[in-house]
Every structure is written in structure tokens, then in C-alpha cells.
Structure 1
Amino acid sequence: MSYLPSGTVYGVLLNFRAEVEALAPQMNQPPYKAPPKAPVLYVKTANTWSPHGSAITVPAQVEAVEIGATVAMVIGVDNDVEGFVLMNDLSIPHASFFRPPVKFKCVDGFLGIGAAMRDAQEVADPAQFRLEVRINGELKQSIDFSQTVRSAEQLLADVGEFMTLAHGEVLMLGCDAGRPLARPGDRIEIAAPGFETLVNTLVKEQA
């Protein structure tokens, strides 16, 4: 039986240095005129959750989706980290970075969730996580979590400054720049040492 969260799942924007550098010119434009000082969160609602091994339906009018490979923290009973899980935070490509519209992020099935949670006690340092994204067996992206703006510990502390995460809730560590695109028919694999590979296949919505 595959792992599924028992609480709200939160994504995090702008937590990789390359992503911040790429978007820096836009951050200084109206309406914000400065980079955000606190973590920028969004919710991946329960309708988006797709277990490991499942097919994810792409809406008929969408040609390709953006793969957001990441690791997420599962919150424990004492607001600590109980474990880590791989996630594939899919979205329809869009130009709104700061407050991503729900219609691009919260499409049915648009969050692939790893088969099992890895116990936090097995992880010496989340900055050592290394992810590889493959589409149809071909390596498309490598992600190094030593390149985050906020470490896992700092991200949890900074989010805790303005909201309390409950036991079972999930907080992603962010997605790096250079996210590959996948199309209906593609098989997506997200692999990392110590984790079971997360696999999902995209299928086209039937008209």
C-alpha cells in the first residue's frame, strides 16, 4: 500500500538559488518591487494526490506539463520532522511565479507521491539529497539540495514564524530551476539514494 499524506501538503516557491537568480529581475518589478522575505507557500489540495505507480491525466487542452521533482518533510507529533518523501509537483506551465493560480497547480492528480516515507532518523543531513529525473528512461534533470536558499531546518523554522504545521502535514523543500516538460504517454521517474523511485505515467484526458 502506497503512502498518502494525512494532512495538508504545502509547496514552497523560490527555495533554490538558481530559481531565485533566474527570477530576480521580475521580483523587483511591481507589484512586489522586492524579493519576498518569508517563504512563499502554496497548497497542493487533496484532489491532486496521485500515488506511486498511478497514471496522471493531463487535461485535453494541455500539451505538456512541468515536472517539479522534490523531497518533502512529513511533520511529526512535536512539530519536528517525522520523515521525508519524494514528490512530483506537476503544474501547467505559467508565468505567475509569486502566487501561482490554483488552476495551474491544483489540477486533479497533479502531485505524484512517493511509495514510502523515509524515516528522518535515517537522514543525517537533507542538504545531501540528490535527485535524478528521467523521462522514458532518459536523464533530464539532476537536483542538488545543498543549493537551497533555506535548509530544511531553516525552512521549517521560518514557516513556523507565521503558521503552525500539524502532525501529518507535509512541507516540500522546493523545486529547482530548469524543470523539464513531460507529455501524455511519458513515464516519469524521480530517483534518489535511500528512497524507492517514484514513478508516474502521463495519459491524455479522453475528449
Structure 2
Amino acid sequence: MKLMRYGPKGKEKPGMLDGDGWVRDLSQVVPDLTAALLAPDQLAQLRRLDATTLPVVTEVGRIAPPYAGIGKFICVGLNYADHAAEAGVPAPSEPVLFLKASSAVIGCSDPIVLPRNSVKADWEVELGVVIGSTARYVSESEALQYVAGYCVSNDLSEREYQLERGGQWDKGKGCDTFGPIGPWLVTADEIPDPQNLDLWLEVNGRRFQSGNTRTMIFSVAQLISYISCFMTLYPGDFISTGTPPGVGMAQKPAPIYLHPGDQLRLGITGLGQQQQNVHTWDAALIDD
């Protein structure tokens, strides 16, 4: 089941993709797709719907983040051995965790707005994991039972803020618009093996990242189990699981960073594609 939200900011409607790729209007069934609807029993009710009985959305317009009420936005750093190598650091012995601000979250094609004085904005295609059940000290063998679904995630970063501004990654990771999610939330039953998904990212038509989740150092199940030992995970919490090699910071002979006018395209097998245009600082693009 592919769930989504569409429409202008503040006026989003819930939707579902049918088997032919048509967006169906869910607003007569639920007022919105929220974290509370990610619980297994709620998703089971939606799954029983006959999508062909729902109205077709003829003009989708903006594709919004796929659910409202995203809670914690937890990210994993250096989770692909080849990405750690290109960053010039040893592969971690335990997952590296940091948080993005919830205000970073945008839809899959919303504009990326560079923060003021940004000089080293970078890209990272990642598998996003959406929690559907409260998880606390869960075992690795049971961890995937707590997943509502998966999304494409772009963990944008301002590398100068992240690495050269006095410590802590969060200040370079949590900038406004630095957390595009979607286009859909694909429920876990459609992704039987999250460790065999191709990821890719292009900037201005040039392919920079190509990878597969099988090369993660720590699997999705390991990450959920590990994170749940440090904080309770609630429905709607989002985990961005790390990026394969090919980030701008690591390009040779010199790094390549994002500039106004650049266009990003990225995607993951079965989870859809994102496309974003990069803009200079403009509050109007953030606070419609």
C-alpha cells in the first residue's frame, strides 16, 4: 500500500495510489494521514479498502510529506563502509546517531532553500524507516515488526556548519528544508527485504550516488533495536538510515556543493523518486 498526502501547505489531503498508479482521494475515509494511523490495526483497516471505489485525483499538484505529525527525526551517520572510507574515517563499531529538526521536513519536490551564508551544502539519498508501534528495548529479531513503512529520504547537509562550526552535526543537518521525505509511505508488507534496495541520486543530470542497502554496516533491524535502547520510538518517528558513497564533499579532485539553480533527482527501488530545485535563502519558500 502506497500512502501519500497532496495539496498546498496547510491544506493537505490524504491519498492512496491504486494498482495502476492513480492517486485516490482518502479524505472521505480519514481526514488526514497522521502518526496515529500508522499503528498496525489502523493500517489494516486502510488495506481492506477497495481503492477503485475512491475518487480519482485528477490534479495532484504539490506532493506533501506522506504523513503529518512526524515525531523524532533520527539519522544514522557513516552507515555504509564505502561512504565512511570516502569520508576518511574508520567504519563505526556502533551506529552514529544524530537528530534533524522536525522543521527540516518538506515534501519530495518542495524547494530546497540554502541557509544564509551556506557554502558547502551537500546531498545524501537514504532509506527512511517509519515507526508504526511503540518500540522500547526491542530485539533485532523482532525489530521489523515495529515498522509501518519506508520512504525515500534526502539527508541534506551544510558541511561547514556540520564540521567546522564548533562540534555537533545537528546544526548542519537540521536546517529548514533539509529533510525531504516521500513521495509515498510504502507499507512494510510491500518491502519484504529492506536490505536489498537500490538507491541513486543525480545532480543536474549527473549520477553521483549508486548503491544498495545490502552494503549497510548496520541493518534496519539492527538500527531499530539499537536506537530503542537509548530512546523510546513512537508511531510517526522517522529513521534515516545512512547514505552510500558519492556525496559532494568526497568528490575528486575537489568537492562539489549545491548552488542556487541546481536540480536533484533521487530514488529508491519501489519507493518512488524525488526531485528538488535549490534556491537561495527566501523565507517565502519556507513559510507559505
Report TM bin, short chain.
0.7 to 0.9
Q: Which moved more, 1:38-47 or 1:82-91?
A: 38-47
Q: Is residue 68–residue 88 contact of structure 1 (8 Å, CA) maintained in 2? A: yes
Q: Is residue 112–residue 177 contact of structure 2 (8 Å, CA) maintained in 1? A: yes
CA distance in 2, matches of 1:206, 1:169: 28
Amino acid at match of 1:73: V
Instruction: Show CA shifts across 1:7-60 (max 9, x none).
Output: 111111121111333456x56xxxxxxx75432211111111111211111124
Tell me by how many angstroms 1:168 deviates.
1.0
Q: Which has the higher strand share?
A: 1
Instruction: Show CA shifts across 1:57-106 (max 9, x none).
Output: 11242234110110111001253111001111111124739x64332111
CA distance in 2, matches of 1:37, 1:161: 16
Q: 1:23 to 1:58 in 2, by over 3 A?
A: closer
Matched, 1:59 2:149: no
CA distance in 2, matches of 1:22, 1:168: 32
CA distance in 1, matches of 2:150, 2:223: 14
Q: Is residue 83–residue 117 contact of structure 1 (8 Å, CA) maintained in 2? A: yes
Which of 160, 163, 169 lines up with 2:228 in the alignment?
A: 160
Greater gyration radius:
2
- TM, length-normalised to structure 2: 0.63
Instruction: Show CA shifts across 1:90-141 (max 9, x none).
Output: 11124739x6433211111111111210111111211111111011222221
Q: Is residue 4–residue 113 contact of structure 1 (8 Å, CA) maintained in 2? A: no
- TM, length-normalised to structure 1: 0.85
Return 5+ residue gaps in structure 1 as ranges: 28-34
**C-alpha RMSD over aligned residues:** 2.3
Q: Alignment identity in percent?
A: 25
Aligned pairs (5 A) from 1:29-48 = 37-48=93-104
Aligned residue in 1 for 2:76 = 12
Aligned residue in 2 for 1:200 = 276
Tell me by how many angstroms 1:161 deviates.
2.3
Aligned residue in 2 for 1:84 = 150
CA distance in 1, matches of 2:198, 2:168: 26
Q: Is residue 126–residue 153 contact of structure 2 (8 Å, CA) maintained in 1? A: yes
Q: 1:163 to 1:133 in 2, by over 3 A?
A: same
Return 5+ residue gaps in structure 2 as ranges: 1-5, 7-63, 136-145, 249-256, 284-288
Q: 1:36 to 1:52 in 2, by over 3 A?
A: closer
CA distance in 2, matches of 1:204, 1:23: 27
